[in-house]
Structure 1
Amino acid sequence: MTSAHASSPAPDARPPAADRPPPPGTQTWRARLGALRRIPALFRLVWEASPSLTLGSMILRLSRALLPVAALYVGKLIIDEVVLQTRAGAPGPALSDWLASGRLARLGLLVAAEFGLAIVADALARASNLVDSLLAELYSNHASIRLMRHAATLDLAQFENTDQQDRLERARRQVTGRTTLLTQLFGQAQDLVTVASLAAGLMAYEPLLILMLLAALAPALIGEIHFNAQGYRLNYFRTPERRKLDYVRYLGSSVETVKEVKLFGLNDFLVERFRRYADAMYRDNRRLAVRRAAWGGGLAALGALAYYVAYAVIALRTVQGQFSLGDLTFLAGSFLRLRTLLEGLLLGFSQIAGQALYLDDLFSFFDIRPDILSPAHALPFPSPIRRGVTFENVGFRYPDTDRWAVRGLNLNLKAGEVLALVGENGAGKTTIVKLLARLYDPTEGRILLEGRDLRDYDLAELRSHVGVIFQDFVRFHFTAGENIGMGRIAEAQDQIRVRDAAERSLADQVVARLPQGYDQPLGKRFSDGYDLSGGEWQKIAIARAYMRDADILILDEPTAALDARAEFEVFQRFGDLSRGRTAVLISHRFSTVRMADRIVVVEGGRVVEEGSHDDLVRAQGRYAELFELQAAGYR
């Protein structure tokens, strides 16, 4: 027999893309702008990452915001002063005559002031860029940590659902993909202050210019908002295809898959599959880019027309004597700067609204809440266990499926007993283990620990007292000692405990052959890694279970890659070391499960037989039938 992983949930039935509801922020303009509600949450994350750098960036931005209007005004004063001195006539033919007259003193001060503003502007820009780059990195790190911590709180069901996998993938991309949004937001705030100061100057001269300015910007703004939303919609619905693309890329270029890819000649197949996915995504992106470029050019032309009408008004007023040359320079410069700033501000706003749609992917993931939680007044774990665990008429269905993985299950796991679970694929063995570790809660019935419902206990404490090693255990690409220490991370630095766990699982023999012993990095993902065979990895994983030193110890077919002798040795050691503690083992070899105190045969999610090996063989029931089928293969 092999593992009972057939009891894991079937792939979700996903509605066709045409039938799925449109993603957040793409249905209406109001909904698109509603995505901006996530901006305060982003600022909170940024502030949490570094209050000092956030405050420093705000001060630097505010200082930079006031410099443009100051520079333009000093420029106006310089031109007016030049015109004034020109009209007054020269005090003499030589420069010394000008200097002696003192008429250049004010002009010199104004030029020096403009030079000083330029130096200050450059220094502030460099300091601001430095602070923003450091802040963006700290934010990315902080957001990644929060993402990892939040993901750890979610239920297993929320990871096994394909829609939730898409959601997690989008959130993972936004942790690093939205760092440029920080700089853009701070830049927008800076430009707002600059716009306010320049607009005040324009209003003092000619309020009509402000209306002309807004007319010049409206077309491009509308186009940007529309196409940003379309781009997000395309990326949203392409998330499943992008995950497939990344998966095929991984298959075609990974050390974990290279052997079978070469032996089975899969490279051309994988390349063709990748090309098919990539080409489909490229066609969609090209279609959107062409439409955006075509419409963008027309809308920009409309905006330019409105700008030059306003420029003509300023020139006419100057010719009519209503404005001085300095005023003309100030107004033309302010209008041009305002147009550029407002265009950047409004288009930047549309881009921020577009990026906020992506930001919603991150914060909507943070909004997900687990269903499996500790109760308000949780009980501490009863260590040591004296009575055991009882399944009372337990039924369970995986999410999004009508098939019962277990139904009407009644099972008693006595304290201090080594219990073996056997049965064919899909019988429900692994599901029982997941329910016992409270990775899922029963759909019906209840599980009792020491006579109290499992849901009454503190969840973190419960899991800390249950040690499980599944067949599909994780191969951590850390050192051998760290791989074992993962079983109880708080004690990972306790070398005596790590070595004891390795000795119990026979992993010490594996470590003894490693060049750097317990300090040897494992796996081929990094340059200094040392790869192990499947059986060696399994012994390392089993050591992890012993490292946990749990009250309930479970081995769920983790020895599939071991030969019969090695598996017998591991389970013999398991049986010896599990005496006095509650233990469950699942194995596809009957020669090893016979050492258990009691064997339970599971079929169709129910217990159909239980007893010792000899009793079950004499009963000539389901166990005996399966035992004979396996024994016949060795004759």
Structure 2
Amino acid sequence: MRPAKIPEVLPFQKGQRLKTLRHLVRLFWEMWRTSPYLMLGTIVMRLVVAVQPPLALLFTKFIIDEVVRQTGLGPLGAGWIESGRLNYLGMLLVGEFALVFGRDLLQRGIQVLDALQGELHSNRISVDLMRHAAELDLMHFEEASYQDKLERARRQAASRSTVLSQVFGQVQMVITAVALAIGLLLYAPLLILLMAVAILPAVYGEFRFNRLAYWLSHERSPERRQMEYLRQIGASADSAKEVKLFGLGTYLVGKFKDLADKIYVENRRLTIQRSAWGALLGTLSTIAYYGAFAYVVWRTLNGEFTIGDLVFLSGSFGQLNGYFQQILIGFTQIAGQALYLDDLYSFFDIKPTITDPARPKPFPAPLRRGIVFDNVGFRYPGSERFVIRNFNLTINAGETVALVGENGAGKTTIVKLMTRLYEAEEGSITIDGTDIREFSSDDLRRNIGVIFQDFLRYSFTARDNIGVGRIEAAADLPRITRSAEQSLANEVIDKLPGGYDQQLGKQFIGGQDLSGGEWQKLAIARAYMREASIIILDEPTAALDARAEAEVFARFKSLSEAATALLISHRFSTVRMADRIVVLDEGKVLEAGTHEELMALRGHYAELFELQAAGYR
């Protein structure tokens, strides 16, 4: 990994920066919809808190001037209480106490409301992220650029709700600063000019370094994703056996450390530069403050200001100086945070390319004619090579067809096209004469039961592991047990201590792991759970032994007589039970027929069958 060269001119045009700032408006409305009452509460509280600092300083001025006046009247006599000499001073003290005490209560209330609002919004945005990811096409998850966007969006989903609290804090400080500035303008306008001279360089420096930090984070998204991957396989139950057997621990740690160290060096350089410039510009601010303080003291000594005025002006300038720095630097930080919001919202702005028709046709159930691939061509996004082209195949209703062929022949791609995980680039796929693009995607997939070789092993209960196959029927235990019996998964579940309620997997306490074959039987049960018109098994028995595989396929054959079935397998012993076997080669149908017909043909199928059979002799 080459070190990132920090550019002299940042790659963010003004239009892009304005676009990212508009995300703040989008964030505001999202958080308002999350909880308008919490939002309104924090706004009102901040408005009240905003006017407290100048009022407290004003009370302090009046108190000091009153104390000076009282000292000129001589010592307090015995009847000072009855005389009411200190009533005005007492009222001022009570008033300032009420301001300070009320501010503390309101600040705590604001923290509570912000925390609740932030958690609600974080939960909502995480739900929205998951929902949007579910709507995107499969290609979005099989391309590195989209993976980088998703990774950046995940990082921002849980943390960007604090940006709005920063914005509200900025508005609160602006109101406070305006009130303080009015006092300074009335007494000493020169102080405002001194403040501007001191603050503007610091603001520019902060603005530049915020953008640099975002740029560096953006540029290193691929490397951070690699680090997350290394962290996962280096400390995961799924990879632990292989890591230990191959002695990969040191290798993985070395790769992770190499990436982490290089990113650290870049961040360290930026941090040091930022700190050095901050120290220099902070010194200018300090000089300006004490210059202003000396100016106020000089005018007080000349009798132009009272002692109370001195305290009020010096306190106002000090606070205003701090507020102006926080406001201007805060705005640059918010602008930087808005850049990160762009990472989040740019993911939400990705639109699926596979869309449903305005008036989808109902899926034909049961099938009458079958499935037809007519001159279908497809290549994966970014690739010039067609995986399949001029592909023609008819699967009759109620027929069990097996697809065989070497790796890369296009078998799994056909399944992805048939289920509209991808869209055919050429030709059409019809079911009972209707193009699958005329069905809604949900309706199409609801009527197709698919199990891929790389099925998920959910860390759910055994019941839920099967129930996800038809999520709307996940509470239907009789249907779940029936599906388990059809896939022979009931034999696995009967041995579990908790039966169908047993937590599976080692990720959570009390979970029990299964063998690869046992997991596979549960996965096959999901396909039966759908009770679909079309059943597709893509290498479904790779983890089963020969006996278990024979039992599963014998059961599959008997149960799929009322359905149309597509079977993909590398094991030729299992595909013999299919009504028809289709041999694929480089995305085209090379041979088709029953096992006996293909063996008599003495072609590619017969050659592959003999090669595999020889391994068992």
Interval containing the TM-score (normalised by the shorter chain): over 0.9
Kindly indicate whether residue 212 of structure 2 is the aligned counterpart of residue 230 of structure 1. Answer: yes
Render the CA deviation track for 1:383-410: whole Å, top value 9, x for unaligned: 2221221111111000111111111100
Match of 1:297 among 273, 279, 287: 279
Kindly indicate whether residue 379 of structure 2 is the aligned counterpart of residue 379 of structure 1. Answer: no
Match of 1:469 among 431, 451, 455: 451
Q: In the alignment, residue 534 of structure 1 is paired with which amino acid?
A: G
Match of 2:58 among 73, 81, 92: 73
**Which runs of no fewer than 5 residues in structure 2 stay unpaired?**
none
Deviation at 1:611, TM superposition (A): 1.1
1:110-129 alignment, distance < 5 Å: 110-129=92-111
Match of 1:218 among 193, 200, 217: 200
Render the CA deviation track for 1:479-517: whole Å, top value 9, x for unaligned: 110110000111101111111111111101110111101
Tell me, yes or no, if the aligned pair for 2:375 and 2:389 is still in contact at 8 Å: yes
Work out the CA distance in 2 between the residues paired with 1:502 and 1:17: 54
Render the CA deviation track for 1:593-615: whole Å, top value 9, x for unaligned: 11111111111001111111111
Greater RCO (CA < 8 Å, at least 6 residues apart): 1
Q: In the alignment, residue 52 of structure 1 is paired with which amino acid?
A: Y
Q: In the alignment, residue 434 of structure 2 is paired with which amino acid?
A: R
Deviation at 1:28, TM superposition (A): 4.0
1:432-443 alignment, distance < 5 Å: 432-443=414-425
1:93-112 alignment, distance < 5 Å: 93-94=76-77, 96-112=78-94
Alignment partner, residue 345 of structure 1 = 327
SS in 1 for 2:158: helix
Kindly indicate whether residue 473 of structure 2 is the aligned counterpart of residue 530 of structure 1. Answer: no
Q: In the alignment, residue 114 of structure 1 is paired with which amino acid?
A: E
Match of 2:253 among 251, 257, 271: 271
The 1:612–1:17 alpha-carbon spacing in structure 2 relative to 1, beyond 3 Å, is: farther
Work out the CA distance in 1 between the residues paired with 2:4 and 2:597: 59
1:47-446 alignment, distance < 5 Å: 47-87=32-72, 89-90=73-74, 92-94=75-77, 96-446=78-428
Deviation at 1:97, TM superposition (A): 3.4
Work out the CA distance in 2 between the residues paired with 1:355 and 1:25: 16
Render the CA deviation track for 1:107-140: whole Å, top value 9, x for unaligned: 0010011111121111111111111111111111
**Which runs of no fewer than 5 residues in structure 1 stay unpaired?**
1-14
Tell me, yes or no, if the aligned pair for 1:26 and 1:32 is still in contact at 8 Å: no
SS in 2 for 1:341: helix
Q: In the alignment, residue 274 of structure 2 is paired with which amino acid?
A: R
1:455-494 alignment, distance < 5 Å: 455-494=437-476
The 1:399–1:93 alpha-carbon spacing in structure 2 relative to 1, beyond 3 Å, is: closer
Work out the CA distance in 2 between the residues paired with 1:354 and 1:18: 19
Q: In the alignment, residue 68 of structure 1 is paired with which amino acid?
A: P
Deviation at 1:182, TM superposition (A): 3.4
The 1:25–1:165 alpha-carbon spacing in structure 2 relative to 1, beyond 3 Å, is: farther
Work out the CA distance in 2 between the residues paired with 1:481 and 1:383: 27
Tell me, yes or no, if the aligned pair for 1:598 and 1:610 is still in contact at 8 Å: yes
Deviation at 1:289, TM superposition (A): 1.1
SS in 2 for 1:261: helix
Alignment partner, residue 11 of structure 1 = none
Kindly indicate whether residue 528 of structure 2 is the aligned counterpart of residue 546 of structure 1. Answer: yes
Tell me, yes or no, if the aligned pair for 2:46 and 2:110 is still in contact at 8 Å: yes
Tell me, yes or no, if the aligned pair for 1:49 and 1:139 is still in contact at 8 Å: yes
Alignment partner, residue 610 of structure 1 = 592
Render the CA deviation track for 1:552-581: whole Å, top value 9, x for unaligned: 111100210101111111111111111121
SS in 2 for 1:535: helix
Render the CA deviation track for 1:27-51: whole Å, top value 9, x for unaligned: 3466445421110111122122222
Alignment partner, residue 634 of structure 1 = 616
Work out the CA distance in 2 between the residues paired with 1:468 and 1:331: 76
Tell me, yes or no, if the aligned pair for 2:4 and 2:216 is still in contact at 8 Å: no
What's the C-alpha RMSD, in Å, of the aligned pairs?
1.9
Question: TM-score, normalised on structure 2?
Answer: 0.97
Work out the CA distance in 2 between the residues paired with 1:17 and 1:426: 38
Q: In the alignment, residue 471 of structure 1 is paired with which amino acid?
A: Q
Alignment partner, residue 496 of structure 1 = 478
Render the CA deviation track for 1:165-208: whole Å, top value 9, x for unaligned: 00000000001132432332222222122122222222232333
Deviation at 1:618, TM superposition (A): 0.8
Work out the CA distance in 2 between the residues paired with 1:307 and 1:501: 78
Deviation at 1:60, TM superposition (A): 1.4
Kindly indicate whether residue 585 of structure 2 is the aligned counterpart of residue 600 of structure 1. Answer: no
Deviation at 1:209, TM superposition (A): 2.4
Tell me, yes or no, if the aligned pair for 1:140 and 1:179 is still in contact at 8 Å: yes
% same residue: 55
Deviation at 1:380, TM superposition (A): 2.1
SS in 1 for 2:458: coil
SS in 2 for 1:578: helix
Aligned positions, number: 616
Deviation at 1:308, TM superposition (A): 2.5
SS in 2 for 1:177: coil
Work out the CA distance in 2 between the residues paired with 1:405 and 1:300: 62
Q: In the alignment, residue 158 of structure 1 is paired with which amino acid?
A: H
Q: In the alignment, residue 80 of structure 1 is paired with which amino acid?
A: D
Alignment partner, residue 45 of structure 1 = 30
Work out the CA distance in 2 between the residues paired with 1:530 and 1:25: 53
Kindly indicate whether residue 563 of structure 2 is the aligned counterpart of residue 586 of structure 1. Answer: no
Match of 1:515 among 475, 497, 509: 497
Q: In the alignment, residue 95 of structure 2 is paired with which amino acid?
A: A
Tell me, yes or no, if the aligned pair for 1:392 and 1:445 is still in contact at 8 Å: yes
Q: In the alignment, residue 81 of structure 1 is paired with which amino acid?
A: E
Question: TM-score, normalised on structure 1?
Answer: 0.94
Work out the CA distance in 1 between the residues paired with 2:574 and 2:460: 31
* Farther off after superposition, 281-290 or 300-309: 300-309
Q: In the alignment, residue 245 of structure 1 is paired with which amino acid?
A: M
Q: In the alignment, residue 481 of structure 2 is paired with which amino acid?
A: R
Work out the CA distance in 1 between the residues paired with 2:473 and 2:589: 38
Work out the CA distance in 2 between the residues paired with 1:306 and 1:97: 48
The 1:323–1:33 alpha-carbon spacing in structure 2 relative to 1, beyond 3 Å, is: farther
Deviation at 1:93, TM superposition (A): 4.8
Render the CA deviation track for 1:59-93: whole Å, top value 9, x for unaligned: 11111111111111111111121122223x12x55
Q: In the alignment, residue 271 of structure 2 is paired with which amino acid?
A: A
Tell me, yes or no, if the aligned pair for 1:218 and 1:303 is still in contact at 8 Å: no
* Farther off after superposition, 198-207 or 469-478: 198-207
Tell me, yes or no, if the aligned pair for 2:403 and 2:584 is still in contact at 8 Å: yes
Tell me, yes or no, if the aligned pair for 2:3 and 2:262 is still in contact at 8 Å: no
The 1:34–1:483 alpha-carbon spacing in structure 2 relative to 1, beyond 3 Å, is: same
